[in-house]
Structure 1
Amino acid sequence: MRISAEQRAENQNRVRAAMDRLLRGEIPPGGNCDIKTLAREGGVDRTAFYGNRPYAQLRQEFETRLQAQRAAGEISDPRLAQITRLKNENDALKRRLAERDRTITLLTDFKAGALSRLAAQHDEITRLRAAPTGASNVRRFPARTSTAGPCH
Structure 2
Amino acid sequence: MTHERQTEAEIRIRAAMRQLLAGPVPNGLKCDVKSLCTLAGVPRATLYRAYPHLKAEFDRQRAAAQEVGQQPDPRLAQIERLKAEVATLRERLSRKNVELDVLKEFRAMALSRLAAQHDEITELRRELGSVTSTKICRLPIR
State TM-score, norm by structure 1.
Answer: 0.82
**Mapping of residues 8-87 of structure 1, within 5 Å:** 8-51=6-49, 53=50, 55-87=51-83
1:90 paired to 2:105:
no
Task: Please state how far the C-alpha of 1:136 moved relative to its aligned partner.
Answer: 4.2
Distance in 2, matches of 1:136 and 1:31, equals: 96
Distance in 2, matches of 1:120 and 1:140, equals: 23
Q: Is the CA contact (8 Å cut-off) linking 1:33 and 1:77 kept in structure 2? A: yes
Of 133, 137, 140, 1:139 maps to 137
Structure 2 gaps, min length 5: none
Task: Please state how far the C-alpha of 1:13 moved relative to its aligned partner.
Answer: 2.1
Which residue of structure 2 lines up, in the alignment, with residue 148 of structure 1?
Answer: none
Residue-pair matches, total: 140
Matched residue type, 1:4: H
Give the % identical residues.
42
Distance in 2, matches of 1:12 and 1:49, equals: 9
Which residue of structure 2 lines up, in the alignment, with residue 112 of structure 1?
Answer: 108
Q: Matched residue of 1:26: which SS? A: coil
Q: Is the CA contact (8 Å cut-off) linking 1:50 and 1:56 kept in structure 2? A: yes
Q: Matched residue of 1:121: which SS? A: helix
Distance in 1, matches of 2:42 and 2:113, equals: 80
Greater helix share, structure number: 2
Distance in 1, matches of 2:134 and 2:108, equals: 37
Task: Please state how far the C-alpha of 1:41 moved relative to its aligned partner.
Answer: 1.0
Distance in 2, matches of 1:48 and 1:136, equals: 111
Distance in 2, matches of 1:136 and 1:114, equals: 36
